[in-house]
Amino acid sequence: MQRKFKFLLLFLSASILACNSFDSLSGADAQVLSKEQMIQVLTDIHIAEAKVSDLAMSGDTVTITQAKYYQVVYDKNNTNAKQFENSYKYYTTQPVMLDSIYQQVITNLAVLENTHKNDFMHSQEKSVRMIEDILK
């Protein structure tokens, strides 16, 4: 009986602490993207920034184009600039978590780069075969 009471007390204490933690997220921190969402948004932002830098623009054109790309990223990920900003500020206060987020972003970008290279090489091989077939 005492064992059940201790278990019940422990369970209730844990539940109260969990509720308090959840309640603290319902305020300002409710605007924080989850770790998985943050990884996806940051991956997409880095891709967008690479695309903008490939366009070889300067001045205000870069700023305007970058803002448009960012909006596409936010729309794709069902978020907005304010929520992303709040999330980034939050994760900068959690360096271990931010590091793990960026490790995954780097992994995602590497996978995409390898996939792109493989697709490019495959298309090049296909082109060479087509030319060889034409020349036969």
Query: What is residue 23's predicted lDDT score, i.e. its pLDDT?
Result: 37
Domain edges within the chain: 1-31, 33-135
- Please, are residues 67 and 1 in contact by the beta-carbon 8 Å criterion? no
pLDDT for res 10: 40
**Rounded to 5°, angle at Cα 120 from 43 and 53:** 45
pLDDT above 60: residue 6? no
The mean per-residue pLDDT over the stretch 61-75 comes to 93
Q: What is the largest CA-CA distance in the chain?
A: 89
pLDDT tens digits for 72-103? 999 999 999 999 999 999 999 999 999 999 99
